[in-house]
Amino acid sequence: MNFGSDNCGPAHPAILDAVIKANSGYQPSYGDDTIMDRVRAKIRELFEAPEAAVYLVATGTAANSLALACLAQPWDTVFCSAAAHIQRDECHAPEFYTGGAKLTLAGEGDKLTPEGLEQAITSWVKGDVHVSQRGPLALTQATENGRIYCVTEIQALTTVAKKYDLPTYMDGARFTNALVALGCTPAEMTWKAGVDAVSLGGSKNGCMGVEAVIFFDPSKAWEFELRRKRGAHLFSKHRYLSAQMQGYLADDLWLETARLANAHGAYLAKRLTEIDGAEILYDVQVNMIFARLPRATHQKLRAGGAVYGLFDGPLDSGDPEAPLSMRLVCDWSITEAEIDQFIAAAK
Amino acid sequence: MNFGSDNCGPAHPAILDAVIKANSGYQPSYGDDTIMDRVRAKIRELFEAPEAAVYLVATGTAANSLALACLAQPWDTVFCSAAAHIQRDECHAPEFYTGGAKLTLAGEGDKLTPEGLEQAITSWVKGDVHVSQRGPLALTQATENGRIYCVTEIQALTTVAKKYDLPTYMDGARFTNALVALGCTPAEMTWKAGVDAVSLGGSKNGCMGVEAVIFFDPSKAWEFELRRKRGAHLFSKHRYLSAQMQGYLADDLWLETARLANAHGAYLAKRLTEIDGAEILYDVQVNMIFARLPRATHQKLRAGGAVYGLFDGPLDSGDPEAPLSMRLVCDWSITEAEIDQFIAAAK
Amino acid sequence: MNFGSDNCGPAHPAILDAVIKANSGYQPSYGDDTIMDRVRAKIRELFEAPEAAVYLVATGTAANSLALACLAQPWDTVFCSAAAHIQRDECHAPEFYTGGAKLTLAGEGDKLTPEGLEQAITSWVKGDVHVSQRGPLALTQATENGRIYCVTEIQALTTVAKKYDLPTYMDGARFTNALVALGCTPAEMTWKAGVDAVSLGGSKNGCMGVEAVIFFDPSKAWEFELRRKRGAHLFSKHRYLSAQMQGYLADDLWLETARLANAHGAYLAKRLTEIDGAEILYDVQVNMIFARLPRATHQKLRAGGAVYGLFDGPLDSGDPEAPLSMRLVCDWSITEAEIDQFIAAAK
Amino acid sequence: MNFGSDNCGPAHPAILDAVIKANSGYQPSYGDDTIMDRVRAKIRELFEAPEAAVYLVATGTAANSLALACLAQPWDTVFCSAAAHIQRDECHAPEFYTGGAKLTLAGEGDKLTPEGLEQAITSWVKGDVHVSQRGPLALTQATENGRIYCVTEIQALTTVAKKYDLPTYMDGARFTNALVALGCTPAEMTWKAGVDAVSLGGSKNGCMGVEAVIFFDPSKAWEFELRRKRGAHLFSKHRYLSAQMQGYLADDLWLETARLANAHGAYLAKRLTEIDGAEILYDVQVNMIFARLPRATHQKLRAGGAVYGLFDGPLDSGDPEAPLSMRLVCDWSITEAEIDQFIAAAK
């Protein structure tokens, strides 16, 4: 009954099999391994982007920070939502890697709107040396609250960015969860909708720790390589990153694990409604559920061993009927039985 | 016949077994996994340092840069050898992580001497706001040229550092190769000899990619954690770093792989002397051999498929008798048969 | 009729006299001049702070950035208002000097409240390695909208900061304007009210370009000196900074110029009410007036040669009755006659 | 008898006159003053560079650091001499402003040679992501030891730089001392000899504190402006920088003060030879003399009140005949009488 995060569960056995298979003989180090050649070709094919620059790093924060550092000067501001992982969860890694760029929050929630974005952009006067210079748009797909930008919404946001000559980066830590929910192609969700660079997350979706960073315009490729090395993110035994990504993309495993996680999320959301006083906070579109339950219910759940994030107040004291917010994340490996057990514990 | 680097070979099967064993059920993320608890305890025990702060990162450059950033202010200079990995091979990662510290080269070669160190330290006047402030000593064990500081030499260097109130960091990318060559204990080679912080490399000695960073004085622990997160080096699925290190330290595997690599190095060095015109450049103490062979011999070796680093001139043209320098590194997995094959190809 | 900023007017002749007087013979450079000894003593006396560390720099942005860099780690967030100069007008100098600290905006306007501050502080969970760590409070006195924190208000804010063990920095670019308006002592407005460090602005109040930075706890002194030098803000011919500050503080000149500027502001505000459709936006407490006038009135003023900042829309087209916002700043040198001329032009 | 530095003497009265003249009425702030327009035009004319980007800052370290930051990426290395001010005297300001660039020392002394430069450049392999990337050449004119690169020497160095596609920056803290010694034009000593950017020092040659930074290719102009603002070096009351530079360049004052200083240097050097045991260390080409005198002579000089830099040992104890090194710098304002007095004190 662990709904703490999709990074708490195990890696998919097929990922480990790919790693074991890669663990034979000698391979050039630092990204020159032959497996990476195949990974690069595979990602270019999947994204219908034969010229794309493709790199691997081991953490989502590295992917975000290194990509943004290639798109933002130190005096630029990144435009993102108030809930963005880069704003709330990365201990200033974006500021560190960009050399001091600012994050301007466009709106209050987790999803950006074209109006909010334009308001944020125009809050900084272009060409004024005293203020933040306008830099990239960063959007998270799926969002930190488990919501999805549909292709039309992405297009609307990048259109605003392009109006001001700003590039767009997509934090795709849960890229595939969004992709399978939308039922579109990787290209449709990215460059065809105006996205310039994207991370394709593996760590939260069945890998041990690997994220691809993709620049559709490869002109930033060498700069990315330098930044990755300087950031200490270029692995000597890079083959083990390559192998994970190779296993992840082979036989549609990435789509399968994302579909599993999303299906578990939907099932959990459905069953949550059976609990007295339960309130679902956002549309459940991928594998994350934000909900409110009475304090007493939380107490039962925690006593029963359920693991998940809890907000809004102390668990132990206070009105037992008072609702407390929770975040539940289903990873690919969770089972219906565990969800049933969770619901049973809440009742 | 691959002597390119000890990061070109495979991981030891026992490391992968440990990873597979760890890949079951849920684990808290971001370093709170139970495996890490055991790793921490094991390292403290091995180093006879019950209070030490122990962390894992995935690359040697991350270990070096993060550790030095905790020991050096941006206006400090690190004292290191001219051949130091932090100076020659990390694309300014130390400068990046420290926020602009300088590296002052103490002497020309790969091994520091107390005299050279003291001269370098005193080249910057203490208390002068205009100049580099004196910062940590960084030494590499084994050195980039495959040599070892014996315990007495380490003690002599740290004594100079302490005379000027400077801390000492040991880059231990090949820590274990040095350890087994010296036949001393981890404590003797580190804190008992005056070392304040050290990295214990795994990547070059049989792991996929993991290095421990150890601070014997834990007062820098929280700063290290913040720097690691901000540098995007805190893994969400940290258990896979922990598992590698657990497997590495279990049943003396780390010592065994280092002994294997060193023994291969010694065997290769011995057999190299059979080749006409061969000259060994440094005492071979661990698993790295620097040597000179005639150009014609290199041509034969390369034609035969041998992989290794080559310096000093073009392979294809020039005096066939002219000596060209080479670096040969033996990883744990290489076999005597491959070394014999290499020697045969050179003859 | 120039109300563009208090940095558009001339320096007070007494400041230049002090500079001329200092321009004789030899003086040690880099802050060791004898004039600085007297300035330091004078500031310590004025602030009743015999131990304070006192430094001079030439720009307000340097004062703010260097002081904050001594108070905030790169992973800390500074708490400030949404209108703060450090947020809106310094092109990421604070981010640059701190090495990537974040600015968390506590509330929407120019004046912080204890409630808003506490909400901002607690929005970042203490001890969570993933988020911004809680750093200094930065408040501007007078604010960017020309308002003043009274001593009680300052005390209330620093009390919140202290509750969370956070230091307080006061951006005193218009310190003296606030001081004379409040009628309190420098000590009452700073350390007696809980302020840890403050800048005492000279540039906007009659000097050519000098600001003092004062740390009441001198433990940061050496770090400040290193940061100032590394930031290229340590003047070789420092005596010219010292001389300005000496002239500024002699014979209560600083108080006199601030009183003049404030009195001009009050007079301008009073007379603005004579203009049809005029609306004063904030209480006029120092030398800055934010007001709204009809577009047609602005057109007359601009045609008449008046200089001031204008917001909210194009001057040239649109409803002539539509109100447009303006900022008017009175420097010490402006005259009643010029204000009268301005009012006449608006009528 | 103050030979401590050319930044210890007073500003030329004509500089103060220019400042006083500028201190009237209102001027746009932040570099938009009308005086700056004239300064820019004057510098473009003097340098025969009608397109050049021209900026003013207040310190030489700011000029160097900001200019280099426009020419070097964080992963680049600057090539400079071991005696370079940027290496020895700026407390990591270049590292800070570039975001962590390295300084590679080309040769041991104060003057670079084409051979030493080429060796330094090729010590970093081009296109290798692990190493420092090749960045700008930085040379100091006159050097820190008071020597001059003649035009042919400059040309030879920039030719090497250009061979590797590297730009050249000239630290011109004592630009005019070198210029009048060579008797060439500013254009000949800079862009006609292959220099891409240069600082024109004022602070050491009669101003209070002002340096011009000139980019002959103006494509870096906007970046420089952003870096200057972000570094807190954009003065609000910029007119006082402009006025100094205006006064400096008017009526050939800059040439006159440099000629005075150089002539004093030559006179002092000549008279030094009268002292028993005196040894001049470098050719005296501008206003700096490096010499050795017996300890006993130094004791007499210091007892007589002479001020200058002293190296190599304690003044108070040791062999009275042992030579100690000294640096003597003549500023524009020193007189023959003072030099005579100095010589008399030494005898």
Chains near A, with 3+ CB pairs < 8 A?
A: B, C, D
Size of interface C-D (CB pairs under 8 A): 143
Interface contact C29, partner D, CB < 8 A: yes
Predicted confidence at residue D313, as pLDDT, reads: 83
Instruction: Summarize pLDDT for C33-62 with one digit per residue, the tens.
Output: 999 999 999 999 999 999 999 999 999 999
Residues of B in contact with C99 (CB under 8 A): 74, 99
User: Does the structure show a pLDDT above 90 at A107?
Assistant: no
C-alpha C229/C-alpha B74 separation (Å) is 12
Do D99 and A74 count as a contact with CB atoms less than 8 A apart? yes
Burial category of A311 from C-beta neighbours within 10 Å (exposed 0-12, middle 13-18, buried 19 and up): exposed
Residue of A66, A209, A234 lying closest to B235 (CB–CB): A209
Domain at B13-253, CATH from 3.40.640.10, 3.40.50.10860, 1.10.357.10, 3.20.20.140: 3.40.640.10
Q: Which token pair is B116?
A: 């050279």
**Closest approach of chain A CAs to the CA of D225, in angstroms?**
7
Interface contact D77, partner A, CB < 8 A: no
Do D75 and A230 count as a contact with CB atoms less than 8 A apart? yes
Share of chain C above pLDDT 90, in %: 97
Instruction: Summarize pLDDT for A180-230 with one digit per residue, the tens.
Output: 999 999 999 999 999 999 999 999 999 999 999 999 999 999 999 999 999
Residues making up chain C, counted from first to last: 347
Interface contact D204, partner C, CB < 8 A: yes
Q: Could you tell me if C288 and C305 are in contact, meaning their C-beta atoms sit under 8 angstroms apart?
A: no
Do B129 and C99 count as a contact with CB atoms less than 8 A apart? no
Predicted confidence at residue B313, as pLDDT, reads: 83
Do D226 and A130 count as a contact with CB atoms less than 8 A apart? no
| Backbone φ and ψ of D218, nearest 5° | -80, 10
Q: If we measure between CA atoms, which residue out of D159, D144, D68, D77 comes closest to residue D113?
A: D159
Q: Which residues of chain B have pLDDT under 70?
A: none
User: Does the structure show a pLDDT above 90 at C128?
Assistant: yes
Burial category of B312 from C-beta neighbours within 10 Å (exposed 0-12, middle 13-18, buried 19 and up): exposed
Question: Average model confidence (pLDDT) for chain C?
Answer: 97
Predicted confidence at residue B328, as pLDDT, reads: 97
Interface contact B92, partner D, CB < 8 A: yes
Q: If we measure between CA atoms, which residue out of D274, D293, D288 comes closest to residue D344?
A: D274
Predicted confidence at residue A100, as pLDDT, reads: 98
Predicted confidence at residue D194, as pLDDT, reads: 98
Share of chain C above pLDDT 70, in %: 100
Do B75 and D88 count as a contact with CB atoms less than 8 A apart? no
Interface contact C9, partner D, CB < 8 A: yes
Instruction: Summarize pLDDT for B7-52 with one digit per residue, the tens.
Output: 999 999 999 999 999 999 999 999 999 999 999 999 999 999 999 9
Predicted confidence at residue B108, as pLDDT, reads: 85
Pairing status of strand D309-310 against strand A288-294: unpaired
Residue of D11, D93, D237 lying closest to C208 (CB–CB): D237
**Closest approach of chain D CAs to the CA of B247, in angstroms?**
29
R_g of chain B computed on alpha carbons: 21
Flag whether the pTM goes above 0.95: yes
Q: If we measure between CA atoms, which residue out of C232, C175, C170 comes closest to residue C207?
A: C175
Name the fold adopted by C254-346.
Aspartate Aminotransferase, domain 1 (3.90.1150)
User: Does the structure show a pLDDT above 90 at C107?
Assistant: no
Q: Which token pair is C334?
A: 């402006």
User: Which residue in chain D has the smallest CA separation from B77?
Assistant: D92
- Give every CB contact of residue A186 below 8 A, 6+ residues apart in sequence: A46, A47, A48, A175, A179, A200
C-alpha C128/C-alpha A178 separation (Å) is 28
Predicted confidence at residue A1, as pLDDT, reads: 85
Residue of A74, A226, A234 lying closest to D75 (CB–CB): A226
Residues 291-320 of B with CB under 8 A from A: 307
Do B8 and A26 count as a contact with CB atoms less than 8 A apart? yes
Q: If we measure between CA atoms, which residue out of A49, A54, A95 comes closest to residue A72?
A: A95
User: Which residue in chain C has the smallest CA separation from A127?
Assistant: C91
Predicted confidence at residue A208, as pLDDT, reads: 98
User: Does the structure show a pLDDT above 90 at C312?
Assistant: no
Return the DSSP state at A227. Answer: H
User: Does the structure show a pLDDT above 90 at C67?
Assistant: yes
Predicted confidence at residue C194, as pLDDT, reads: 98
User: Does the structure show a pLDDT above 90 at C129?
Assistant: yes
Residues of B in contact with C75 (CB under 8 A): 226-227, 229-230
Q: What is the CATH number that goes with domain B258-346?
A: 3.90.1150.10
Interface contact B90, partner D, CB < 8 A: yes
How big is the CA angle at D208 (ends D204 and D214), to the nearest 5 degrees?
Answer: 65
Predicted confidence at residue B174, as pLDDT, reads: 98
Residues 125-154 of C with CB under 8 A from D: none
Strand partners, D77: D102, D134
The residue extents of the domains of chain A are 13-252, 254-346
Do D229 and C93 count as a contact with CB atoms less than 8 A apart? yes
ipTM of the complex: 0.97
Burial category of A133 from C-beta neighbours within 10 Å (exposed 0-12, middle 13-18, buried 19 and up): buried
What's the pLDDT band for D62 if we cut at 50, 70, 90? very high
Domain at D13-251, CATH from 3.40.50.620, 3.60.15.10, 3.40.640.10, 3.40.50.1980: 3.40.640.10
Helix H, strand E, coil C: the string for chain B is: CECCCCCCCCCCHHHHHHHHHHCCCCCCCCCCCHHHHHHHHHHHHHCCCCCCEEEEECCHHHHHHHHHHHHCCCCEEEEECCCCHHHHCCCCHHHHHHCCCEEEECCCCCCCCHHHHHHHHHCCCCCCCCCCEEEEEEEECCCCCCCCCCHHHHHHHHHHHHHCCCCEEEECCCHHHHHHHHCCCHHHHCHHHCCCEEEEECHHHCCCCCEEEEECCHHHHHHHHHHHHHCCCCCCCCHHHHHHHHHHHHHHHHHHHHHHHHHHHHHHHHHHCCCCCCEECCCCCCCEEEEEEEHHHHHHHHHCCCECEECCCCCCCCCCCCEEEEEEECCCCCCHHHHHHHHHHHC
Predicted confidence at residue C108, as pLDDT, reads: 85
Pairing status of strand B76-80 against strand B133-140: parallel
Predicted confidence at residue C170, as pLDDT, reads: 98
Sheet holding B309-310, edge to edge: B279-280, B288-294, B323-329, B309-310
Predicted confidence at residue D104, as pLDDT, reads: 98
Q: Which token pair is B325?
A: 């320098």
The least confident of A313-322, C35-44, C195-204, D28-37 is A313-322
Predicted confidence at residue D1, as pLDDT, reads: 85
Q: What is the CATH number that goes with domain A13-252?
A: 3.40.640.10
Q: If we measure between CA atoms, which residue out of B82, B213, A222, C113 comes closest to residue D127?
A: A222
